[in-house]
Amino acid sequence: MARKCMAAAALVLLCAASAQAARWSLETDEQGRSLLQEAKSPNCTRIDAHCSKCRNQRIPGTRRSELVCSTCDSGYRLRRDGISKTCDCAPGLAMDANKNCQPCSKGNFCLGGDATVNPTNAESTCPDGLETTFAGAKSQAQCFTKPGYGRTAAKGSDGKVSLAGVVCDIATYNVGSNTAGCQKCGAGLTTATNRSDSASDCQAPAGSYMDKGIGKLCQKGTYSTALNTNANCIPCPDGITTAAEGSTTAAACSLALKGYYIDSVNSTNAIKCPLDTYQDQEAAVTSCTPCDHAWKTKETGATGPALCLAPPGFELKDGATNITACAAGSYKADWNRNPCVECGTGLITKEAGSVSKDACLVPAGYGLTSLSPMVAAPCERNTYGDSVDRAAVANARCTACPADMFTMDTLETRTRNSNEYYTSEAACLVKPGWGTTATLPQECPVGTYNEGKNRLPCHHCGTGWTTVAAGKTAESQCVVQAGWKLAADNIPAPCDKGSYSTGGTEVAPNATCTPCATGYSTQEDESVSNEECAVCAPGFGGANCGQCTWGTFASGGAKVGDACAACASGSTSKKGATQSQQCYSTLIDARNDVFNLANEGAWADNAATTGTTCGAACDALDTCVMYKFVVNEAGQGSGKCSLLSEASTPSHTVGFKIGNGDDYSVWGLNQAVGAALDPMPAAAGSANTEALCKEACTSAAECEVYVFTGTTCTLTKSELEQDSISMFHVVGAKLYSDLHP
Ligand SMILES: *[C@@H]1O[C@H](CO)[C@@H](O)[C@H](O)[C@H]1NC(C)=O
Ligand SMILES: *[C@@H]1O[C@H](CO)[C@@H](O)[C@H](O)[C@H]1NC(C)=O
Ligand SMILES: *[C@@H]1O[C@H](CO)[C@@H](O)[C@H](O)[C@H]1NC(C)=O
Ligand SMILES: *[C@@H]1O[C@H](CO)[C@@H](O)[C@H](O)[C@H]1NC(C)=O
Ligand SMILES: *[C@@H]1O[C@H](CO)[C@@H](O)[C@H](O)[C@H]1NC(C)=O
């Protein structure tokens, strides 16, 4: 009991009172024992069935005494009503129908019998909502709560404490069997009904959810419709939210989230704002707002006008209504509201709306002069760019021309024309008078030319042509080369031996070959100066290269001063003979032995008796035309020698054929010589000049002599005459070639 009292502090007072009562009862027992010894075994049950000790007691004012009970059985106590005739039940016991005290039944409490308060020794019931939890409860203090009830204690005006049970209100509970009041549910929780008897009856109300034993309001965008123990509220459909936290109905999901609008035909369906629109409020809107200025959004579901941007390649110009593509020459890479970025001075883009710096191009014929910032400029003097536009980021600079090549502005000593661009190496040209013949340009060597300002090799003047110096620029500067002349067909030809040419000059390009002075010649063809006329020409010789006289010859090439060579003894030549073949024997046989004369009387006898001396006699005589020698007697060595001399008044010209007509020995006679050919060639008949007559003889193999009268031509020959020989005389001065040079 003491332990129970200590557990329930509220009942201390009450317990103290009971303890006091028990101690006092015990003392009563001790006093009763001393009293018992005076009475001698009276039958106490006559007084009360449960009186265990009794005694006689004098009735005041009389001498009579009566039996009174002094001690009751265990579990009973003597009623203090001044009569001492009744044993009541002790606290915790109640009297049954047989007048026996039984332990107080569970649920009730028993104060014990009392003359005034409980004369019937009945059980007492606990207040509503309370009950005792064991049999034999002795006081109301032992009434504990029923489940779902709380216990309250109130001090009445008499100072007594009275207990009461109260139904646990909504949002409270009590498991029962205790002395406590109703326990509050966790913060934010409640119960479905009153009289809840378990903590588990505490749940989150509609609009809330449970988080570690605490009820919390559904966050915005969620709701719950009933008591629940869920750890989460039900989310609104995607894109939809509530006006506040703590929503209790699905219908509270009525506001489109930023970036959404609500389907006008299905309010539970939120749709992301289409591209280029936005929605910046949580509101029951059924459409999004188009971006200003035709700005665009990068994605659907834009949540505010700040997401309305100019896409790459576009900008909003100051004061413009709508965005426009970046102008050519500028670009913009990102989504933003910045202006387009200029590529840089001189740079271009292929079109408007470029989205990257990579789109910045260096125009054809331009080169980058600075990479950061990017600046391009036309390629100037002696540099070139490209024929196509190139990406500027690749650092497209102008390229220098190769060595000794120049651009037109340099070549023409002027500034570049505004519409003139150098777009490839082809713009690099050679100077006038230079050419690309070799790996590196070089000055055109002598004999070549190039007008320059091009990329050509030097042109060759052509065979027989040259230039007077290196570095010539035009074909008109080609002159005939030394040792050559411009021939009749306007094609240069080398100068023959015996002539020379100093070549053309730019003033007089057409050279001619100049013959060496008469009698002089050169060693070779293509001689280039008069100095090379240092040898005698064929047919010339001696100190001053005079013409070789009769009987001599020179084949040419002899040093000045060397005399002409003499023909062999017994032979002679025309003047200026050039070879030994032109030396003819001074006496030449008649082919058929004898040239007869028309007038045989013209022969003059000569004393010579041999053929040899006869011939020597004729040879010695400048006027001797021919001789005839007749052998009179065979073996005797003597014969008749006759000579024919020139006529003093010739009527005929007679030409003896030398060789096959190489020359003729010509004499003046007044008669024919030899026998006329039969038949006479037609050529002879038509020959009306000595030259024609001579040609007719040359043509006729049989002809040995032509006879020309000035009007008629006769061709004759020698005749057979066994015992005679006849030879004609060749004298240099009488050769046809000397007579008709
Ligand atoms: C005492 O009295 C009761 C009835 O009055 C009787 O039944 C009982 O036997 C008596 N006891 C004794 C010891 O005499
Ligand atoms: C307890 O709830 C019942 C039923 O809802 C009601 O009739 C009664 O009045 C309530 N009691 C208290 C004390 O609120
Ligand atoms: C309304 O939209 C929701 C969400 O898209 C969908 O689940 C539902 O079926 C729609 N209701 C009707 C009637 O179309
Ligand atoms: C601006 O753009 C909007 C939307 O594309 C268009 O309707 C409007 O005509 C444009 N205004 C001008 C001035 O171009
Ligand atoms: C050189 O010859 C050409 C061709 O015959 C001719 O046309 C030209 O006039 C000549 N030049 C001179 C300077 O004589």
User: Domain for residue 574, yes or no?
Assistant: no
User: Domain for residue 290, yes or no?
Assistant: no
Residues 127-143: tens digit of each pLDDT: 999 999 999 999 999 99
Residue with the bigger pLDDT between 1 and 157: it is 157
- Is residue 321 lining ligand 4, measured as CB closer than 6 Å? yes
Our count of domains for the chain comes to: 3
User: Domain for residue 471, yes or no?
Assistant: no
Residue found by looking up tokens 């027989």 in the block: 464
| Cα separation, 472 vs 467, whole angstroms | 7
pLDDT at 568 over 80: yes
Q: Span 265-272, mean pLDDT?
A: 95
Counting residues of the chain whose pLDDT is more than 70, the rounded percentage is: 94
To test the ligand 1 pocket, which listed residue (45, 50, 67) has its Cβ within 8 A of the most ligand atoms? 45
- C-alpha of residue 297 to centroid of ligand 4, in Å: 16
User: In terms of Cα–Cα distance, which of 627, 683, 674 is closest to 652?
Assistant: 674
Cβ-count burial 532-542 (b if 16+ within 10 Å, e if not): bbebbbbbbbb
Most confident listed range (14-28, 605-619, 634-648): 605-619
Ligand 1 neighbours (beta carbon < 6 A): 43, 45-46
pLDDT at 572 over 60: yes
- C-alpha of residue 179 to centroid of ligand 2, in Å: 22
To test the ligand 3 pocket, which listed residue (266, 267, 286) has its Cβ within 8 A of the most ligand atoms? 266
- Is residue 194 lining ligand 2, measured as CB closer than 6 Å? yes
Q: Span 366-373, mean pLDDT?
A: 92
Which residue's CA lies nearest to atom 12 of ligand 2?
Answer: 167
pLDDT at 26 over 70: no
Tell me what pLDDT residue 472 has.
Answer: 96
Residues 418-435: tens digit of each pLDDT: 999 999 999 999 999 999
- C-alpha of residue 278 to centroid of ligand 3, in Å: 23
| Cα separation, 593 vs 572, whole angstroms | 22
- C-alpha of residue 280 to centroid of ligand 4, in Å: 22
Lowest mean pLDDT among 212-221, 315-324, 554-563: 554-563
pLDDT at 478 over 70: yes
- C-alpha of residue 508 to centroid of ligand 5, in Å: 8
Residues 6+ apart with CB under 8 A from 27: none
Tell me what pLDDT residue 500 has.
Answer: 96
Q: Span 320-341, mean pLDDT?
A: 96
Residue found by looking up tokens 């505010």 in the block: 304
> Which is the closest atom of ligand 4 to the Cα of 294?
2
pLDDT at 23 over 60: no
Q: Span 156-161, mean pLDDT?
A: 89
Residue with the bigger pLDDT between 33 and 438: it is 438
Q: Span 619-638, mean pLDDT?
A: 82
Tell me what pLDDT residue 509 has.
Answer: 93
User: Domain for residue 402, yes or no?
Assistant: yes
Cβ-count burial 593-604 (b if 16+ within 10 Å, e if not): bbbbbbeeebbe
User: Domain for residue 148, yes or no?
Assistant: no
pLDDT at 350 over 50: yes
User: Domain for residue 318, yes or no?
Assistant: no
pLDDT at 267 over 70: yes
| Domain span at 408 | 365-429
Tell me what pLDDT residue 392 has.
Answer: 87
CB neighbourhood size of 427 (10 A): 23
Helices (H), ranges, 382-430: 408-411
pLDDT at 37 over 70: no
Task: For residue 161, give the 3-state DSSP assignment.
Answer: strand
pLDDT at 15 over 70: no
pLDDT at 256 over 90: yes
Q: Span 622-635, mean pLDDT?
A: 84
pLDDT at 241 over 70: yes
**429, 447, 477 — which closes off a domain?**
429
User: In terms of Cα–Cα distance, which of 500, 498, 543 is closest to 518?
Assistant: 498
Q: CA torsion 343→346→348→353, rounded to 10°?
A: 40
Residues 391-410: tens digit of each pLDDT: 988 889 999 999 999 999 99
Residues 519-535: tens digit of each pLDDT: 999 999 999 999 999 99
Q: Span 664-687, mean pLDDT?
A: 93
The DSSP letter of residue 677 is P
Q: Span 283-296, mean pLDDT?
A: 96
The rounded mean pLDDT for the chain is: 90
> Which is the closest atom of ligand 2 to the Cα of 170?
14
pLDDT at 179 over 50: yes
Give the count of alpha carbons within 13 A of 383, CB side only: 17
Long-range own/partner contacts, residues 293-299 (CB < 8 A, 24 or more apart): 293/320, 293/321, 293/322, 293/323, 294/321, 294/322, 294/323, 295/323, 295/337, 296/323, 297/273, 298/335, 299/275
**111, 141, 171 — which closes off a domain?**
141
| Cα separation, 421 vs 410, whole angstroms | 13
pLDDT at 41 over 80: no
Confidence category of residue 36, pLDDT binned at 50, 70, 90: very low
pLDDT at 2 over 60: no
User: Domain for residue 152, yes or no?
Assistant: no
**93, 109, 141 — which closes off a domain?**
141
Confidence category of residue 738, pLDDT binned at 50, 70, 90: confident
| Cα separation, 494 vs 525, whole angstroms | 7
Tell me what pLDDT residue 137 has.
Answer: 96
Q: CB burial class (10 A; 0-12, 13-18, 19+) of residue 414?
A: exposed
- C-alpha of residue 125 to centroid of ligand 2, in Å: 22
Lowest mean pLDDT among 1-10, 217-226, 558-567, 685-694: 1-10
